[in-house]
């Protein structure tokens, strides 16, 4: 969640000092704007960040390690002697930040450019000769465990293993393709192993040449931004520097005009990993890309796939994004270890897909409804001022007209959005009272309340969450849990993002003529009305349902440098005490889940997925590599029945929507697809089981907390 209202005022003398700072045109000396940026960054972070850190020796050491890891994550450039030389600065970076001294940055930057230039012949020499795929050899892609090379021959050995792995991946794909052709046509003459190996090597060479072309396109500013972010992100993972080019892209994406597949990506070792799917985006609609998947290759339509393993994240994104209507084919290493190729037609995010929608379901001759809320949206620019809270009010009223007895609100994969609408939606289910506490640094928490005494829905309520429910979703779920208003059912805990960011234009703090970019900075924390933060802890479900993300590293707690969990005083609120059998219903569900064979299988699958995620060893012997792939494929077949699960429930659109479906075939097709997925959804099924058991007391009884 972000806000743009935060302001930080710099003293006037500060700007004067910046303006008269010494200027030099020497190649290894900083430009005036670089010194300006360092000083402004230090001031803004220490004065404005929610939890400022001491810029001391310990901080210096963290920046040192972070910067080197960012520049050479797979340890294919720097020698150990370089690291030893750089280490002289390990506890001096803090002093350099305070003194506008960039000598550490320039030393590392110049050495990196030197090592990159030296490495150019390595991959070309290695790829001139066939790889021996009969040799028993393994390669660990967890580079944190590996050491820097001692000399050039050690670097070449590192390159050899990395290029062998990349080529082996290509070779394996080519062999499988040949085998498929032979199965389709037994007269087909397959290409020999040696020829395929040569083709795979040549493809790797082309990819490496392109990679070095992209590296050469990087400017000094790109490398300097990496250094700046090594400083800013030591404060917390959501505090990020945007240089002018990146800021422009950020503004476009915030306006929803960026065309592509609709997924957020992050770097994980050598891989590009899917960290979030944007509701309404092409990947979200296509349905095969999942959070946790690794993208290994990218092809434009029917073109030759480009291997992006080892590629910088920005470069990989350039291949993946593209114009609306164009096709991109992604080769995925799925979270279960299998390989899959999917096709996505690029598009812009369809706003309609982020809006609230509902489905009516009959269960034991009773009527219930599932409301899907993909995000907490608000659009001040829209003529009709459409928000998730106004839409929720309309949806509830329409469902009441159909005599719906209970609601399931589905917040799975809802990454948050507007705090205002989260508070308003929470208020629809209680009379009035506090919803969330918002705290600035060094100030008491501000209690945000629902002041409208009207209750829009006073019948049973179940909220469905998972590990990707974040921010505003956690505020709503936490409030309903603290009031005892709803049963929270889903993952072990939600994402755990309890912070607010503000985008700060850094140009307001200097009077040079150059643009120095912006800083997205954490300025607030959220707290539940019971006093606990949603940071790291998120919301723990009343009923924990195992899912494939149960053991995966995908939450706030798995990021680098997250802010800590803490507490503030509890707000004054009255517990919603209208359920006759709240605890009994939860116990019944836990027993059902424990005895359900499908949930048992999901639990086993989750443990296996974690084991797969932690397995970083790659076989470089072809037969061993092939057997490993087959073993993963065979293991995944054990869980095939999970994909085939179907409930006996039938989902239909609410009455008001049926007239719209008759006029809009596209909308009708989307609803058919959604209802088909709901019918296969064991989590919604159990949420409805819980909902059907909840009983409301004849009269309301409020208990003061």
Q: Report d(CA 326, CA 322) in Å as an integer.
A: 7
SS (H, E, C) 586-614: HHHHHHHHHHCHHHHHHHHHHHHHHHHHH
- The single residue listed with the structure tokens 């003459």 is 189
List the one residue out of 589, 671, 650 whose CA is nearest residue 367: 650
141 is written with which tokens? 């892609």
The fourth-level CATH superfamily of domain 351-498+533-704 is 2-enoyl-CoA Hydratase; Chain A, domain 1 (3.90.226.10)
Residue 62 has pLDDT above 60, yes or no: yes
Percent residues over pLDDT 90 in the chain: 63
Exposure string of 295-315, with b = 16+ CB inside 10 Å and e = fewer, is bbbbbeeeeebbbbbbbbeeb
Our measurement of the distance from residue 280's CA atom to the centroid of its chain's CA atoms, rounded to an integer in Å, reads 16
Q: Report d(CA 36, CA 231) in Å as an integer.
A: 15
Q: Report d(CA 457, CA 460) in Å as an integer.
A: 8
Residue 114 has pLDDT above 90, yes or no: yes
Cβ pair 566, 51 in contact under 8 A: no
Residue 27 has pLDDT above 70, yes or no: no
Q: Report d(CA 120, CA 158) in Å as an integer.
A: 14
User: Which is catalytic among the residues 471, 473, 533, 541?
Assistant: 471
Cβ pair 172, 626 in contact under 8 A: yes
> For 189-203, 262-276, 541-555, 631-645, which range has the lowest pLDDT when averaged over its residues?
262-276
pLDDT band per the 50, 70, 90 thresholds, residue 268: confident
CA dihedral sign, ordered 270, 271, 276, 277: positive
**Highest-scoring range by mean pLDDT, 44-58, 173-187, 547-561:** 44-58
Q: Report d(CA 395, CA 50) in Å as an integer.
A: 38
> Is residue 346 classed as helix, strand or coil in its secondary structure?
coil
% helix, strand, coil for the chain, step of 5: 45, 20, 35
Residue 23's pLDDT is 36
List the one residue out of 60, 113, 59, 58 whose CA is nearest residue 82: 113
Show the beta-strand stretches assigned E in 104-164: 138-140
Phi, psi of 596, deg, nearest 5? -85, 120
157 is written with which tokens? 């050995």
pLDDT band per the 50, 70, 90 thresholds, residue 252: very low
Active-site residue, 482 included: yes
List the one residue out of 539, 514, 509 whose CA is nearest residue 414: 539
Q: Report d(CA 213, CA 235) in Å as an integer.
A: 33
Q: Report d(CA 273, CA 291) in Å as an integer.
A: 8
Q: Report d(CA 310, CA 307) in Å as an integer.
A: 9
Q: Report d(CA 638, CA 647) in Å as an integer.
A: 20
Residue 9's pLDDT is 45
Our measurement of the distance from residue 128's CA atom to the centroid of its chain's CA atoms, rounded to an integer in Å, reads 39
pLDDT band per the 50, 70, 90 thresholds, residue 700: low
User: Which is catalytic among the residues 270, 347, 482, 681?
Assistant: 482
Cβ pair 591, 543 in contact under 8 A: no
List the one residue out of 497, 477, 474 whose CA is nearest residue 486: 477
> Is residue 282 classed as helix, strand or coil in its secondary structure?
helix
Show the beta-strand stretches assigned E in 491-542: 499-505, 518-527
669 is written with which tokens? 């097709």
Show the beta-strand stretches assigned E in 162-213: none
The CATH class of the 257-345 domain is: mainly beta
Residue 3 has pLDDT above 60, yes or no: no
User: Which is catalytic among the residues 497, 525, 653, 681?
Assistant: 497
Going by the DSSP 8-state scheme, the letter that residue 92 receives in this structure is: T
Phi, psi of 361, deg, nearest 5? -135, 135
The pTM of the full predicted model, rounded to 2 decimals, is 0.86
pLDDT higher for 412 or 270?
412
- C-alpha triplet 554, 557, 559: angle, nearest 5°: 70
Residue 248's pLDDT is 63
**Highest-scoring range by mean pLDDT, 191-205, 238-252, 656-670:** 191-205
> For 351-355, 384-388, 575-579, 669-673, which range has the lowest pLDDT when averaged over its residues?
351-355
- The single residue listed with the structure tokens 């469902």 is 399
Q: What is the mean pLDDT of the segment spanning 235-244?
A: 92
Q: Report d(CA 391, CA 456) in Å as an integer.
A: 12
Q: Where are the domains of the chain?
A: 53-234, 257-345, 351-498+533-704
Residue 256's pLDDT is 42
Q: Name residue 12's beta-bridge partners.
A: none
Active-site residue, 275 included: no
Residue 144's pLDDT is 86
Residue 383's pLDDT is 53
Residue 314 has pLDDT above 80, yes or no: no
Cβ pair 221, 243 in contact under 8 A: yes
pLDDT band per the 50, 70, 90 thresholds, residue 17: very low
Cβ pair 479, 539 in contact under 8 A: no
pLDDT band per the 50, 70, 90 thresholds, residue 467: very high
Q: What is the mean pLDDT of the segment spanning 132-153?
A: 93
Tell the burial category of 141 from Cβ atoms under 10 Å away from its Cβ (0-12, 13-18, 19+): buried
Residue 203 has pLDDT above 50, yes or no: yes
List the one residue out of 264, 335, 277, 295 whose CA is nearest residue 550: 335
Pairing between β-strand 366-372 and β-strand 406-410 as defined by DSSP bridges: parallel
Backbone conformation region of residue 470, classed left if phi is above 0, alpha if psi is from -120 to 50, else beta:
beta
- C-alpha triplet 598, 603, 607: angle, nearest 5°: 145
Cβ pair 545, 272 in contact under 8 A: no
Residue 528's pLDDT is 98
What is the distance in angstroms between the CA of the first residue and the CA of the last residue of the chain? 29
pLDDT higher for 5 or 134?
134
CA atoms within 13 A on the CB side of 172: 20
pLDDT band per the 50, 70, 90 thresholds, residue 126: very high
Taking residue 598's Cβ as centre, other Cβ atoms within 10 Å add up to 15
CA distances to 127, 160, 683 from 135, in Å:
17, 13, 47
Active-site residue, 497 included: yes
Q: Report d(CA 448, CA 415) in Å as an integer.
A: 20
């Amino acid at each position: 969640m972000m806000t743009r209202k935060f302001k930080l005022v710099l003293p006037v003398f500060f700007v004067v000092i910046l303006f008269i700072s010494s200027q030099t045109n020497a190649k290894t000396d900083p430009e005036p704007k670089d010194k300006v940026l360092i000083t402004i960054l230090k001031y803004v972070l220490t004065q404005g960040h929610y939890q400022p850190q001491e810029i001391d020796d310990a901080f210096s050491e963290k920046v040192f390690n972070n910067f080197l890891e960012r520049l050479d994550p797979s340890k294919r450039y720097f020698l150990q002697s370089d690291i030893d030389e750089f280490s002289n600065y390990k506890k001096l970076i803090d002093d350099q930040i305070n003194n506008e001294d960039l000598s550490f940055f320039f030393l590392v930057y110049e050495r990196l450019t030197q090592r990159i230039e030296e490495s150019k012949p390595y991959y070309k020499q290695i790829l001139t000769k066939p790889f021996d795929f009969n040799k028993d050899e393994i390669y660990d892609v967890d580079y944190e465990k590996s050491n820097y090379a001692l000399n050039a021959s050690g670097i070449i050995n590192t390159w050899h293993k990395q290029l062998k792995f990349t080529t082996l991946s290509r070779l394996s794909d080519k062999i499988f393709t040949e085998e498929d052709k032979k199965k389709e046509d037994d007269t087909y003459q397959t290409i020999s192993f040696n020829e395929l190996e040569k083709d795979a090597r040549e493809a790797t060479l082309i990819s490496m040449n392109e990679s070095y072309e992209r590296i050469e396109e990087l400017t000094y500013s790109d490398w300097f931004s990496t250094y700046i972010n090594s400083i800013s992100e030591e404060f917390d993972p959501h505090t990020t520097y945007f240089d002018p080019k990146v800021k422009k892209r950020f503004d476009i994406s915030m306006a929803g005009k960026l065309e592509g597949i609709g997924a957020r990506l992050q770097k994980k070792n050598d891989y590009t990993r899917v960290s979030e799917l944007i509701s309404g985006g092409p990947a979200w609609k296509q349905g095969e890309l999942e959070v946790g998947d690794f993208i290994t290759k990218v092809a434009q339509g029917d073109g030759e796939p480009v291997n992006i393993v080892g590629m910088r994240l920005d470069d990989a994104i350039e291949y993946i994004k593209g114009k609306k209507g164009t096709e991109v084919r992604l080769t995925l290493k799925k979270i279960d270890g299998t390989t899959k190729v999917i096709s996505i037609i690029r598009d812009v995010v369809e706003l309609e897909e982020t809006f609230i929608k509902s489905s009516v379901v009959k269960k034991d001759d009773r009527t219930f409804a599932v409301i899907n809320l993909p995000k907490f949206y608000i659009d001040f620019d829209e003529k009709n001022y459409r928000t998730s809270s106004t839409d929720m009010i309309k949806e509830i009223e329409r469902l009441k007209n159909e005599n719906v007895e209970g609601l399931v609100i589905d917040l799975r994969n809802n990454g948050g959005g507007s705090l205002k609408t989260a508070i308003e939606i929470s208020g629809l289910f209680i009379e009035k009272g506090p919803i969330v506490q918002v705290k600035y640094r060094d100030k008491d928490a501000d209690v945000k309340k629902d002041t409208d005494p009207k209750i829009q829905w006073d019948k049973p309520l179940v909220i469905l969450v998972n590990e990707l429910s974040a921010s505003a979703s956690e505020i709503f779920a936490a409030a309903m849990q603290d009031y005892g208003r709803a049963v929270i059912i889903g993952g072990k805990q939600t994402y755990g993002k309890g912070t607010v960011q503000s985008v700060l234009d850094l140009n307001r703090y200097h009077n040079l003529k150059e643009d120095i970019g912006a800083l997205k900075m954490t300025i607030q924390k959220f707290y539940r009305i019971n006093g606990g933060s949603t940071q790291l802890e998120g919301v723990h479900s009343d009923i924990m349902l195992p899912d494939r993300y149960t053991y995966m590293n995908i939450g706030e707690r798995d990021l680098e440098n997250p802010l800590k969990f803490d507490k503030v005083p509890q707000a004054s609120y009255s517990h919603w005490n209208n359920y006759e059998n709240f605890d009994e219903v939860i116990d019944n569900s836990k027993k059902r889940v424990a005895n359900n064979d499908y949930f048992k299988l999901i639990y086993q699958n989750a443990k296996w997925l974690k084991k797969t995620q932690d397995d970083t060893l790659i076989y470089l012997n072809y037969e061993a590599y092939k057997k490993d792939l087959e073993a993963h494929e065979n293991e995944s077949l054990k869980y095939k029945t999970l994909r085939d699960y179907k409930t006996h429930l039938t989902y239909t659109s609410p009455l008001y929507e049926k007239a719209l479906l008759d006029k809009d075939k596209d909308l009708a097709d989307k609803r058919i697809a959604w209802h088909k997925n709901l019918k296969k959804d064991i989590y919604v099924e159990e949420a409805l089981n819980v909902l059907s058991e909840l009983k409301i007391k004849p009269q309301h009884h409020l208990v003061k907390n």
